[in-house]
Amino acid sequence: MAVVDTLRSVRHWSVAMRRALARNWHLWSTALLAAMIRLPGVFHGLPYVRHPDEPVNYEVVHSMVVRRSPLPGFYDYPSLQYTVQAVVHAAYATFARLFGQGSLTGLDMPPGGLGTNFTNSPGAWIAARLVTVCAAALGVALVAHLAARLSGSRSWGVVAGVLAAVSRIGITTGAVITPDALAGTTATAVVVLLVHRFTATVEAPSRRWTVLTGSCLGLAVGAKYNNVLLLILVAATVALLPASRRPTRAGIALLIGVSIGVGLLTTPGAILDVSTFTGNVRSVLDHYGTGHVGAEGNTLTTNLRFLRDSDPLAAVLAAVAVVGAVAQRRRAVGIVAGWVVVYFLAISAVTVRFDRNLTPVLGSLAVLAALGAQQLWRLLRATYDAGDHRSLRRAAAGVLVIALVVPAGVSQVDLAARAVRRAGGAHLATSAAWLGDRIPAGTSVLLDAYSPWVDTTTADVSYSRGLAIPSVAELEQFDTVVLTRSGWGRFLGLADQYPAEAARVMRLRADACRLDRYSEGTAYWIEVLRLDCST
């Protein structure tokens, strides 16, 4: 009898699972697509690592596990990503030790620069990147859910999920050890909960909704400081709700209290390591306010270009959705659009600009895009159902759709394909091998911070820390200098902003003898310069 009951339970569970999968096909299918697109990036270039932030974040996580401390001691980013990654890193180290793959200290990184580093433990790196892939895939599922709710169709939810999955910025940030994918997913979760409250048929918000929204808000800020702008969205949503459906004052206090509590829980250094935390945060604010060489100024227009170069189709369709929402007075859609506009303008008001800073709104942009596509589809259907297929109305609608969607769609596919191809990372090993073969034997070499990794145990190699160009006296200690486009070479394109630095680079190139040059188009090049041309 026990066996029969067990079999019945298994059958009941399997039927329930099949029904759940069938009911939520738009969620798991788009999440799976996003994960598959991002998987090549998990193995990107290993054992070489070019992303300048990954080695920093990895070392913070590794240090937390070695010290057995919940405090990262580094707060340029909030600590949520470090906490999650530390748990995974500790688990990986435990399994590696059980299977005789080495000790925890063996997972550390050899010294290197910012341009291309090297890891002795590709497996640990893959595990850490997979955490980011999972966060990105969950974010895409949330996008599909929100679009399905607002459009009333799972099919349009799939459209939104696909657009989020093929976002170039989403692909490039979705498989690296940085907090951007996590920040985007948690921000989307807050937007989903706010839209649910706005479209709910129940009058008063439940305590469950209040606690869940506060928790997601705390997690979003704990993922990246930029997400504190979600407070504006929460306040706007509460203000736009009918009086009978707004949270009470006690409910608002609970939401704020939970968000603060969760935020402090994710970044305990804010109360347990106050001096380091405040110092790092002030440094970040100063950095974004004063500038980052090569990523500063013209922030609004540059962010618009980032958007065009990442999500052109989503941007076009989102504009259609906003126009339609205004005409139809769809306030729920206005909540989603408001988050995109408020965040975009706020992030464009600072001096420093990076494309990854747009990640928190890419999910909402994809939702708006699906709604815009739905409106265009309905326009085409309406003109077709009008009966006269030769009518001016039908022709105009067709031309409008073709003019808006086709060029942007072709561009979107091309951008996504290039991002996936780039994730192969073969160029990292190629450039590192090229440079290693050209380091002159028996000489002392100075590499700028963005040079490919060179084994410092077999050559007399020093990495420059940061972008400060060494003085003439400092350069005299070396026989050879390696110059890159991403390192000191960036000043050559910024001569108007940094005339002194550009002049020093040009003088260095003029006085030295170029031994060889490597290039990847115009985006990246390396030059090996010998300082003493008489030898």
Q: Is residue 334 part of a domain?
A: yes
Instruction: Please write the tens of the pLDDT for every residue from 8-45.
Output: 555 555 555 566 556 777 788 999 999 998 988 888 87
Cα separation, 129 vs 88, in Å, equals 10
Instruction: Please write the tens of the pLDDT for every residue from 342-387.
Output: 999 999 998 888 889 999 999 999 999 999 988 888 877 776 665 5
Of 386, 407, 422, the last residue of a domain is 422
Position 238 scores a pLDDT of 85
Position 189 scores a pLDDT of 95
Give the helix/strand (H/E) hosting 151: helix 122-151
Q: Is residue 9 part of a domain?
A: no
Please compute the mean of the pLDDT values over residues 295-317 and round it to a whole number.
Answer: 87
**Residues 500 and 409 grouped into a single domain:** no
Q: Is residue 394 part of a domain?
A: yes
Cα separation, 31 vs 75, in Å, equals 30
**Residues 368 and 477 grouped into a single domain:** no
**Residues 134 and 234 grouped into a single domain:** yes
What's the token pair of residue 201?
Answer: 């048929």
Report whether 121 contacts 107 (CB < 8 A): yes
The length of the chain, given as a count of residues: 535
Cα separation, 220 vs 236, in Å, equals 18
Instruction: Please write the tens of the pLDDT for every residue from 41-66.
Output: 888 878 888 788 888 898 899 889 98
Cα separation, 212 vs 248, in Å, equals 16
Q: Is residue 65 part of a domain?
A: no
Of 422, 451, 473, the last residue of a domain is 422
Cα separation, 485 vs 50, in Å, equals 13
Q: Is residue 61 part of a domain?
A: no
Given a cut of 80, is residue 104 above it in pLDDT? no
Q: Is residue 218 part of a domain?
A: yes
**Residues 481 and 464 grouped into a single domain:** yes
Mean pLDDT check: name the lowest of 129-138, 257-266, 404-413.
404-413
Given a cut of 70, is residue 291 above it in pLDDT? yes
| Total structural domains within the chain | 2
User: How many other C-beta atoms lie within 10 A of the C-beta of residue 474?
Assistant: 12
Please provide residue 352's backbone torsions phi and psi, each rounded to the nearest 5 degrees: -85, 140
Nearest Cα to Cα of residue 223 among 294, 169, 163, 173? 173
**Residues 329 and 293 grouped into a single domain:** yes
Given a cut of 80, is residue 526 above it in pLDDT? yes
User: How many other C-beta atoms lie within 10 A of the C-beta of residue 256?
Assistant: 16
- Exposure string of 161-176, with b = 16+ CB inside 10 Å and e = fewer, is bbbbbbbbbbbbbbbb
Of 387, 422, 457, the last residue of a domain is 422
**Residues 436 and 302 grouped into a single domain:** no
Report whether 386 contacts 393 (CB < 8 A): yes
* Residue range(s) defining the domain that contains residue 484: 426-530
**Residues 414 and 465 grouped into a single domain:** no
CA 52 from chain center: how many Å? Answer: 14
Query: For all residues of the chain together, what is the average pLDDT?
Result: 83
Please provide residue 175's backbone torsions phi and psi, each rounded to the nearest 5 degrees: -145, 35
225 pLDDT tier (thresholds 50, 70, 90): very high
Q: Is residue 225 part of a domain?
A: yes
Please compute the mean of the pLDDT values over residues 94-108 and round it to a whole number.
Answer: 72
Report whether 198 contacts 241 (CB < 8 A): yes
**Residues 471 and 412 grouped into a single domain:** no
Q: Is residue 81 part of a domain?
A: no
**Residues 333 and 472 grouped into a single domain:** no
Given a cut of 80, is residue 309 above it in pLDDT? yes
**Residues 432 and 398 grouped into a single domain:** no
Give the helix/strand (H/E) hosting 503: helix 499-511
**Residues 458 and 507 grouped into a single domain:** yes
**Residues 418 and 431 grouped into a single domain:** no
Please compute the mean of the pLDDT values over residues 377-401 and round it to a whole number.
Answer: 66
